[in-house]
Amino acid sequence: MTVLTEGPGPVALRSPAGVALVAATVLASMVGFVDAYMINVAVPAIGRDLPASVDELQWVLTGYLITVASLLLLAGALADHFGRKRVLVAGLLVMLAASVACAVAPTPAALIAARLVQGAGGALVVPSSLALLNGSLRAGDRARGIGIWAGISTLGTTLGPYGGGWLVDHASWRWVFLVNVPLIAAALLVLTRVPADHEQRRPLSVDVGGALLASVGLSGIIFALTSSSWPAAVIGVGCLVALVPLERRLRRPMLRLSLFTSRPFDAINVATVLFYGAISAASYLVVLLCQLRLGYSATEAGAALIPESAVFLVVSPLAGALVARIGTRWPMAIGILLVAAGFVWLAAARPGQPYGEAILPGAILWGLGLGLAVAPLTAGVLAAVPDDDLGEASAINDAASRVGGVVLIALVPLLLGVGGATDFTGPLADRYRFAMVVLAGVTFAAAVLTALFVPSRRVTAPHPAPGPRVHACAVPVKGNRP
């Protein structure tokens, strides 16, 4: 049985409510980006100021990503039942409190705990914000609304690391977390102008067991990777293995396993884990290299990869048209290979090289590859399932990108051979090139998987999501199975 909300019908994009809707979702997206990746530029400063060990710094990064990835599908179910606007407001309030806690954290343990809470808020914000945008706009305005959201959000996520670096250089790393406060306040204020969503609400189906197994499983694996703990690895793998029979038995599971009977769907999601995971880890490594080896300030390190995002913005609309003409397989595979080539170039960066030689060519290759790959990846995962499953397929692919990011970022100390080192400076000097080449190999594997198993279907690619390092198939699609 479904319950109708009391909100009015769909709103027009050019109405005051439509403008407020786009503004609120843009602000929410920026909050999620700041919490996920803008702090990369603050890692060296956090390590010096608290002080924090390499393992603790890794948890500062991955704690947020773990809770978002493991709670994302559960949060989507809550949004479907309680209403997207209500869940979005709740998520923003949780993130607001956690951001302040991060900014005033006196110890690494306190900062890690606050980051975990931040991730729980982020899990509520991610599925509800764009679902609210897609479900509240009139059908004829949705594509344009998502396009406007994508363009503005991409501008914010492109300049965000530069702003974060400036704050680290001129104030403190703590201000990187406080950036969220005005963004969240503005989003909450604007949301008062947005009517309650009018979509039919599903009966409440909260898969607490699945969410708990996913959270403990991911946390165990990440702890094992960062601390070389075999018991943690056994617990993590055991929880993830136990998740499969649990989800099969439930009537309304968090993760509907029947979707994975589609080979193209499986292939694209595995490629997503590898591709977006490598991108997340490479972004982190390049920022560390710039600050700790190449002598860049935090501001300069935050600006180093801006050309990548700029090229992505130019190329991605062209890739959508290309997918409609020749299909998904080859634009996606070639784009992923170009990203791998960018990683290989960046692997050769060394102290004393000018920016135009060390970073810029690799960043351009990276952006070109992303521009080619994101639209066919998004279109391909949606084309691999029936129409009734589009929403769940999108959520699963989004979760896959986040799981890839958290796992590959957790692998960074292992790739660098950090061992007993107290910071990243020495390991970067010895093993940065090796780590980047490994990530290029992971990316190459994603391209091979795409070429072998992703069909070359001609489909209309949805507008790609902004900030491809944040999430993959983030465009919400109506038609979830009731």
Residues 6+ apart with CB under 8 A from 189: none
What DSSP state is assigned to residue 11?
A: B
The per-residue pLDDT for 317 is 79
Q: What is the mean pLDDT of residues 32-56?
A: 87
Percentage, residues of the chain above pLDDT 90: 41
| 429 and 469 in a common domain | yes
| 244 and 187 in a common domain | no
How crowded is the C-beta side of 35, counted as CA atoms within 13 Å?
41
Whether 65 is in a domain gets the answer: yes
Whether 63 is in a domain gets the answer: yes
* Chain-centre distance for alpha carbon 43: 18
CB-count exposure of residue 474 (10 Å: 0-12, 13-18, 19+): buried
The per-residue pLDDT for 471 is 39
Contact predicate 432/417, CB 8 Å: no
SS3 395: helix
Does the pLDDT value for residue 360 go beyond 90?
yes
In 3D, which of 292, 259, 276, 254 has the Cα closest to residue 78? 254
| 151 and 238 in a common domain | no
pLDDT band at 388 (very low <50, low <70, confident <90, very high): low
Looking at residue 75, its amino acid is A
- H runs (alpha helix) in 104-229: 108-136, 142-170, 174-178, 180-191, 208-227
In 3D, which of 405, 426, 427, 425 has the Cα closest to residue 416? 427
The per-residue pLDDT for 161 is 86
CATH for 53 = 1.20.1250.20
| 148 and 134 in a common domain | yes
pLDDT in tens, 186-212: 999 999 988 876 555 556 566 778 878
Total domains, the chain:
3
Whether 150 is in a domain gets the answer: yes
Does the pLDDT value for residue 59 go beyond 60?
yes
Does the pLDDT value for residue 5 go beyond 50?
no
Whether 381 is in a domain gets the answer: yes
223-231 long-range contacts, Cβ below 8 Å, gap at least 24? 225/407, 225/410, 225/411, 225/413, 225/414, 226/55, 226/58, 226/59, 226/62, 226/410, 226/413, 227/55
| 323 and 440 in a common domain | yes
Calpha distance 205→375 (Å, rounded): 32
| 407 and 466 in a common domain | yes
| 425 and 303 in a common domain | yes
Percentage, residues of the chain above pLDDT 70: 88
pLDDT band at 358 (very low <50, low <70, confident <90, very high): very high
Q: Does the reported pTM lie above 0.75?
A: yes
Between 93 and 244, the more confident residue is 93
Between 72 and 110, the more confident residue is 110
Contact predicate 176/167, CB 8 Å: yes
Q: What is the mean pLDDT of residues 218-246?
A: 86
467: left (phi over 0), alpha (psi -120 to 50) or beta: left
| 380 and 357 in a common domain | yes
Calpha distance 44→159 (Å, rounded): 20
The per-residue pLDDT for 77 is 74
Q: What is the mean pLDDT of residues 384-401?
A: 75
Q: What is the mean pLDDT of residues 99-128?
A: 92
Q: What is the mean pLDDT of residues 136-162?
A: 75
The per-residue pLDDT for 350 is 93
Whether 405 is in a domain gets the answer: yes
| 356 and 465 in a common domain | yes
Does the pLDDT value for residue 470 go beyond 60?
no
Does the pLDDT value for residue 477 go beyond 50?
no
In 3D, which of 100, 98, 24, 107 has the Cα closest to residue 68? 98
Does the pLDDT value for residue 450 go beyond 90?
yes
Whether 256 is in a domain gets the answer: no
Q: Which of 72-86, 101-115, 392-406 has the highest mean pLDDT?
A: 101-115
The per-residue pLDDT for 139 is 75
* Mean pLDDT, the chain, whole residue set: 84
Whether 255 is in a domain gets the answer: no
The per-residue pLDDT for 9 is 65
Query: Tokens standing for 449?
Result: 């998987």
Whether 390 is in a domain gets the answer: yes
Query: Tokens standing for 302?
Result: 């935050």
| 231 and 305 in a common domain | no
Between 474 and 417, the more confident residue is 417
Residues 6+ apart with CB under 8 A from 161: 37, 38, 40, 41, 287, 301, 302, 303, 305, 306
The per-residue pLDDT for 72 is 79
Residue numbers of the domain that contains 457: 261-482
Does the pLDDT value for residue 448 go beyond 50?
yes
Contact predicate 206/74, CB 8 Å: yes
Residues 6+ apart with CB under 8 A from 448: none
Q: What is the mean pLDDT of residues 382-402?
A: 76
| 62 and 153 in a common domain | yes
pLDDT in tens, 302-323: 999 999 988 988 888 788 788 8
Does the pLDDT value for residue 481 go beyond 50?
no
Query: Tokens standing for 219?
Result: 């946390």
User: Which domain-ending residue is among 195, 224, 249?
Assistant: 249
Which of the residue ranges 242-251, 339-348, 382-391 would you say has the lowest mean pLDDT?
Answer: 382-391
| 345 and 447 in a common domain | yes
pLDDT band at 69 (very low <50, low <70, confident <90, very high): confident
Contact predicate 463/150, CB 8 Å: yes
Calpha distance 172→163 (Å, rounded): 12
